[in-house]
A and B are shown apart, each in its own frame.
Chain A
């Protein structure tokens, strides 16, 4: 743990059990001050639980939480310098927008005049000036969300915890709020810890992401690193869309793996972040992962590039997605009867269902991830 920069949040060895279920195990994270840090994972992975433990709304069975060199996990929620934005906003329905935002301030005994100015300040910040006397039920989803954020910010927390705050918004609004949120965070310089199951959202907003699965942290890295170099199968599947090709391992050496697929085809891929695995050559199965945009579609009789992997298949679906098209095609062979692969292409218009196509992809872009020998 770095002591040079004490202004950070250290989560050490957190464990949490509900009855016999393990919700969190061995959580170790360091979050830096001013970071936009996301906890990403599917539902039930424990990300919300972890956030609630940070907030002090639940306590961990084991582990410690340190903030700025001070141990805080024994403190109740109200004594922690954090504030939370809840998934369904949890705006007090019996209080006006003003009173909602002022709630925490009143509890602290802040003087009325100052309450007024702080609330106005934060209302302006969230573009909600003039809304102070409104009641929460009269507000739209987006407005409620901003009030929830304002309520948290009014208390001048050192860190803001956000529990899937954009989940209830529709697409357009969500995108708008994502941008606003990011700008706000940058502007205020506060640490944001953001929980989401939407990987695109996490990639868009975060400085760093912690991918969580079944109570464990699988990987912590920047969005780019996560996308290009996932360290586990789970991360590879969860972030970004990838094709999976299941085949039998023929050979491994020096970071490269040869996979046989179908009767004759040999594919080569790069081992990422793994020690050359054990497992018997010729018997073990493993998966190759390739991103759709790395598949190049050739005409059926064209020659593939030197040293590149190549497969043939039949197009089953072409999906027009505006700026590009997605071509889904089936290849036979390998462990499954037929594997569906996707390629992105600009030339979708020329490919139709039923065509025989050949795709090629570079071994550099074909990955095998650690812990894959299933």
Chain B
């Protein structure tokens, strides 16, 4: 807003920022370093051994592919539903608009644990065996409000004159949607998808309760590994996931998703 110099807080206050950033990053750095370190004979030296172990572990690859599968499927469906939801709330004259908005808000405010257990009961009621499908369904429910939020935020900022112009020039309602609204929403749709993907990929809690035996996703696998104690192999795995996350976040940032995320939070 105002690009001119803004009065800075005094050092004693502003110093919290770098201190906390260090506090946040220090463990990550240590983890990264440890993953490359092997301690033998009282000394420590650089090694790629742990990474080899990670890459050679078939269970981990399976977990990774499952995570990827689930995240793709859940994100895709969630984006589609979220698009419809955002359009229904902010654009269309939809009678159950308030209902949808409340539901979206509700699912946001709900503790993830309660959602997980509720779904668990639900699936049990219908006699559904827990599998990746149940996980996908759970993830969709989890990520849907975020997509609605992101696309909805962009939608609110769109000038209604575009639609008017399209109608004036001869477009039917569905054509207005496909030729004007959707192209203008495209960046936010992608952002929504990426965010949903990220949330799904990283999710632990809901996945833990709704997945079947032996079909762990990566975070769940990591959890079980950590329960048994820390090892450099775990650190290597975590480091890999960290790098991937960073890349994805950089992608998000390029699409300016971060700003809308920060705004959407409020």
Contacts and interface: CB of A to CB of B under 8 A. Distances in A.
A contacts B directly (C-beta below 8 A): yes
Q: Most chain-A CB neighbours within 10 Å: which of B162, B168, B175?
A: B168
Interface residues of A, number: 23
Interface residues of B, number: 18
B169 A103 contact: yes
B162 A90 contact: yes
Given A90-B159, A92-B180, A93-B184, A84 B165 contact: yes
A166 to B, nearest CB: 16
Contacts of A86: 161, 164-165
A347 B30 CA distance: 86
Interface in A117-168: 151, 155
Contacts of B130: none
B159 A92 contact: no
A78 interface: yes
A155 B161 contact: no
A76 B170 CA distance: 9
Nearest to B184: A94
B4 interface: no
A92 B170 contact: no
A78 B171 contact: yes
A57 B168 contact: yes
Contacts of A56: 167-168
Contact of A108 (B159, B170, B179, B186): B170
B175 A83 contact: no
B43 interface: no
A155 B170 contact: yes
B168 to A, nearest CB: 5
B170 A107 contact: yes
Contact of B168 (A84, A87, A93): A84
Contacts of B164: 52, 55, 57, 77, 84, 86, 90
Interface in B149-180: 159, 161-162, 164-172, 175, 179-180
B167 A77 contact: yes
A77 B183 contact: no
A78 B162 contact: no
A140 B64 CA distance: 51
A88 B168 contact: no
A263 B186 CA distance: 74
Given A93-B184, A94-B183, A107 B169 contact: yes
B168 A92 contact: no
B184 A107 contact: no
B183 A83 contact: no
Interface in A61-93: 76-78, 82-84, 86-88, 90, 92-93
Contacts of A277: none
Contacts of B172: 78
A83 B169 contact: yes
Contacts of B166: 92, 103
Contacts of A103: 166, 169, 179
Interface in A11-38: none
A104 B166 CA distance: 8
Contacts of B180: 92
Q: Most chain-B CB neighbours within 10 Å: which of A57, A82, A83?
A: A57
Nearest to B171: A107
Q: Most chain-B CB neighbours within 10 Å: which of A76, A88, A92, A151?
A: A92
Nearest to A101: B169
A55 B165 contact: no
Q: Most chain-B CB neighbours within 10 Å: which of A57, A78, A86, A94?
A: A78
B258 to A, nearest CB: 22
Given A92-B166, A94-B186, A103-B166, 11 more contacts: A56-B167, A77-B164, A77-B168, A88-B159, A90-B162, A93-B184, A94-B183, A104-B170, A107-B169, A107-B175, A108-B170
Interface of A: 52, 55-57, 76-78, 82-84, 86-88, 90, 92-94, 103-104, 107-108, 151, 155
7 tightest Cβ-Cβ pairs between the two chains A and B: A104-B169, A90-B161, A90-B165, A107-B170, A78-B170, A77-B167, A94-B183
28 contacts: A55-B164, A57-B168, A77-B164, A78-B168, A78-B169, A78-B170, A78-B171, A82-B168, A83-B168, A83-B169, A84-B168, A86-B161, A86-B165, A88-B161, A90-B159, A92-B162, A92-B165, A92-B166, A92-B183, A94-B183, A94-B184, A94-B186, A103-B179, A104-B169, A104-B170, A108-B170, A151-B169, A155-B169
